[in-house]
């Protein structure tokens, strides 16, 4: 729940992709490649680290905003491409080919629902992230960490978004 805000304000923060690197900890950069009103094509560079493992990913997504009425908004984001980046920031920086990367994330999607009720907006987010199988010798160790990162990432993202909306719009009492 985000108190003291309107649905229009929440959607404005959601569509403010240029601000994402200051809102969401893992996002290093965000660029809108095309904006066709309800449908956007967006590219993110993300960096995640946990338990001594880290990965930088370039994710290109199609994001669709739907407003069925004045109180509801839905956002569906589907990753078109996900590439792990090797040698980030060096002259040898490159995308690893699919199947030759760590496999942490190779498909992703998110469905976010916003509902304005009274003097607040409620937010619900469902995500799916698919990874490739981890090497047998390391899978027992890597898989639980990857699952924990995924769950924690969603919880953290929802809280970071809520805080950004509150800081920008919420009425002070």
Place of tokens 């409620």: 122
Tokens at residue 149, please?
A: 């990162």
In three-state secondary structure terms, 158 is: helix
Number of domains in the chain: 1
- Say which residue the tokens 């569906």 belong to: 76
pLDDT in tens, 47-67: 877 556 678 889 999 999 999
The label of the residue with tokens 């060096």 reads 90
Task: Please state, for a pLDDT cut of 70, what percent of the chain lies above it.
Answer: 78
CATH number of the domain bearing residue 74: 3.30.530.20
Helix axes 136-169, 7-15, angle to 10 degrees: 130
How far lies 68's CA from each of 41, 62, 65, 91, 122, in Å?
21, 19, 10, 47, 16
Give me the domain span that covers residue 66.
2-169
Higher pLDDT, 5 or 97: 5
> Burial letters for 64-87: b for 16+ Cβ neighbours within 10 Å, e otherwise?
ebeeeeeeebebbbebeebbbbee
pLDDT at 151 over 90: no
The pLDDT tens digits of the residues spanning 80-127 come to 988 888 888 899 989 888 766 666 677 889 999 999 999 999 999 988
């Amino acid at each position: 729940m985000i108190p003291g805000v309107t649905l229009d304000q929440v959607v404005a923060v959601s569509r403010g992709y240029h601000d994402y690197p200051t809102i969401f900890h893992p996002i290093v950069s965000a660029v809108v490649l095309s904006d066709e009103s309800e449908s956007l094509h967006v590219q993110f560079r993300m960096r995640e680290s946990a338990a001594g493992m880290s990965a930088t990913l370039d994710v290109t997504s199609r994001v669709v905003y739907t407003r069925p009425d004045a109180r509801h908004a839905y956002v569906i984001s589907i990753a078109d491409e996900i590439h792990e980046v090797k040698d980030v920031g060096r002259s040898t920086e490159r995308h690893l080919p699919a199947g030759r990367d760590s496999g942490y994330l190779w498909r992703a999607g998110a469905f976010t629902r916003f509902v304005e009720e009274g003097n607040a907006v409620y937010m619900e987010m469902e995500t799916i992230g698919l990874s490739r199988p981890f090497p047998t010798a390391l899978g027992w160790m890597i898989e639980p960490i990857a699952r924990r990162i995924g769950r924690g990432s969603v919880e953290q993202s929802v809280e970071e978004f809520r805080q950004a909306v509150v800081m920008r719009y919420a009425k002070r009492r």
